[in-house]
Amino acid sequence: MVQVIQAQNVGLADLEARFGIEETDTASFFTEWLENLPEITDLEKQYLDRVKSHFLRLVKRPPLLEDAVKLVVLSPLLSLAGFYDEPFFIKSEQSIEISADDEDEIIRGRMDFLVIQEQLWLLIIESKKSSWSLLEGIPQALTYMIANPNQEKPIFGLVMNGSDFIFLKLTKNSKIKYALSDQFTLLKRENELYQVLKILKNLSQILS
């Protein structure tokens, strides 16, 4: 009998055991969040200052749930980065199922936000409750990224909870490898949404 495991219950150790996934610290593996980042305009900075202000105002009245995080923080970022324009289109709550070779287990889950271009999963956005640690979302995001049918191109992701952001990159060659960016947060005096937007813009240029 096939056992079904929900994606939100999968940890990094499960992914390592089932799929041989490996984290790499090779500096050249994930340069997209560091190098050749586009500049953003003063108007975009002003808008991002408002986004930060709106979020910090909302967190004073918890709970701030997933839909509010998407509306207040994620949607403006995707819009400014060009993910609502051609050649991209958005699908949300996408179902996935994956199983390892010779395993009687299926991992099943639903993706919070998915950016697709020409039927390829290119950027996966996993937004969590603002009170959740990003560490809880990383294995789930990686599970969805492993399920991507495209074996040739790198897959990028973003795990966020409203105040904190981590980018991911995964490749599926002879081995499945992934790496994480530094963590960005809105709990600093400087607005780190500037850097988050630069990275998203860079990814939109790469993926288009």
pLDDT (tens digit per residue) in 81-96: 998 898 888 777 666 6
pLDDT of residue 65: 72
pLDDT of residue 58: 86
* For residue 79, pLDDT beyond 70: yes
How many Cα neighbours within 13 Å face the side chain of 14?
19
pLDDT of residue 120: 44
Domains of the chain: 23-93+111-207 (3.90.1570.30)
CB 124 within 8 A of CB 114: yes
* For residue 67, pLDDT beyond 90: no
Backbone angles phi, psi at 180, to 5 degrees: -115, 150
Residue 191 or 7, more confident: 191
CA dist 112 and 86 (Å) reads 21
Residue 185 or 162, more confident: 185
pLDDT band at 165 (very low <50, low <70, confident <90, very high): very high
CA dist list (Å): 115 to 7, 174, 187, 206, 207: 19, 26, 27, 14, 10
pLDDT of residue 119: 40
pLDDT of residue 3: 54
CA dist list (Å): 170 to 83, 138, 144, 151: 20, 12, 11, 10
For 136-164, the pLDDT digits (tens) are: 788 888 888 888 777 788 889 888 888 88
For 15-46, the pLDDT digits (tens) are: 888 888 999 999 999 999 999 999 999 999 99
* For residue 181, pLDDT beyond 60: yes
The token pair at 146 is: 């492993």
pLDDT of residue 121: 47
